Amino acid sequence: MSRFNDEKFKQLQLKVKFNAIPKTRLKKFNQHFNGYKNGLVRSEPGKFVMTPLYGSHAEKLYRMKPRSTTWTSELLWLVMNNCDTEKAVATPLFARTPFIDVPFLNADTELSPESRQMLNSFDKMPSPRIFKTHLPFYLLHPELLDTSKVLYVARNPKDAIVSFYHHHKLIKAHDYKGDLEEFAQYFMDDEIVYSPFFPHLLDAWSKRNHPNLHFMFFEDMKKDLRGEIVKVAAFLNQTPSDEQLDKITEHLRFDNFEKNESVNNEIGKKLGWMNPDGKFIRKGKTGDWKNHFSPELNNRIDEWIEKNLAGSDLKFVTELEHQD
């Protein structure tokens, strides 16, 4: 990856414009999302919703040239680092697998010196680097799939809504104050960051046969965690021993994972970027949506899902009888 000011990549232009979403600047919206002081913006084309800060700096990540490496988080890091669970526990996840969207997830109008330093630090990381992002493919470097290994993780939309609702209430950069039903409507109306949900998924689904893309479902990890670890290791051309596989599986089991201070971000409450109530690593249960949706809301979400998946062979599992 070259530095963001590298002359070689200054000519690479992102042919996307971001425009303000008028509704997100209204009083009612700002009362629901205290963190979105300057509203949100939407890309044309693509209709991707993000903060104005990201919209004005989107080319910085688009120009970030990938090396021959992998993107995502804890599972990948363990597989690629000889199952070093001791180091994984001792070193924060964000330091091992940076979330490259973070500098843009606030209401600032300009990048802070700390954010600029963070962006430039990505270039200094030794290979193989592991990054995490929620951005769609068309906002990432066009050579990404031809250069790097990409693990794309999808989750069923019902549990995704519940998870993102709790995340928005927890993180002060969002600071959501409304109820779940109102949030679900914002989600379906593509009026929160990282929406729209289905175009993002369907684009990745259409690329699932690319040799450098491994498309996996969160629900498959809940159903057979060890089996999915084996598949990811094979995708990365790694051959962990049975003992290492057992070690990774135990490390990633949810009851252990939520207690791991290197990933649960409890320090965020002390640093002031998380609200005191709630957890960053919450339940991770497939089917938890049943504890949150009214019959009427569930029917509306079913209709929304059916409409957006019309003509697609993408299917979701929304309930599991047994899960890890």
**Per-residue pLDDT tens digits for 165-209:** 998 988 888 999 999 999 999 999 999 999 999 999 999 999 999
Check pLDDT > 60 for residue 265.
no
What is the DSSP secondary-structure string of 40-87? -EEEETT--EE-HHHHHHHHHHHT----S-EE--HHHHHHHTTT-HHH
Enumerate the β-bridge partners of residue 131: 71
Provide the CB-side half-sphere exposure for 38 (13 A, CA). 18
Provide the CB-side half-sphere exposure for 119 (13 A, CA). 23
Q: Which residues are catalytic?
A: 134
Residue 123 near residue 1, CB atoms below 8 Å: yes
Residue 151 near residue 216, CB atoms below 8 Å: yes
Query: Nearest to residue 67, comparing CAs of 140, 149, 136?
Result: 149
Q: Write down the pLDDT at residue 94.
A: 66
Per-residue pLDDT band for 262 (boundaries 50, 70, 90) equals: low
The arithmetic mean of pLDDT across residues 254-270, rounded, is 60
The arithmetic mean of pLDDT across residues 275-297, rounded, is 82
- Calpha distance 17→172 (Å, rounded): 27
**Which residues lie below 8 Å from residue 271, measured CB to CB, with a gap of 6+?**
none
- Calpha distance 155→157 (Å, rounded): 6
Query: Nearest to residue 159, comparing CAs of 219, 227, 72, 73?
Result: 219
Output phi, psi for 91, to 5 deg.
Answer: -120, 125
Query: Nearest to residue 254, comparing CAs of 283, 229, 276?
Result: 283
Retrieve residue 313's tokens: 């062979």
**Per-residue pLDDT tens digits for 29-48:** 999 999 999 999 999 999 99
Check pLDDT > 60 for residue 73.
no
Per-residue pLDDT band for 227 (boundaries 50, 70, 90) equals: very high
Residue 208 near residue 200, CB atoms below 8 Å: no
The arithmetic mean of pLDDT across residues 77-103, rounded, is 75
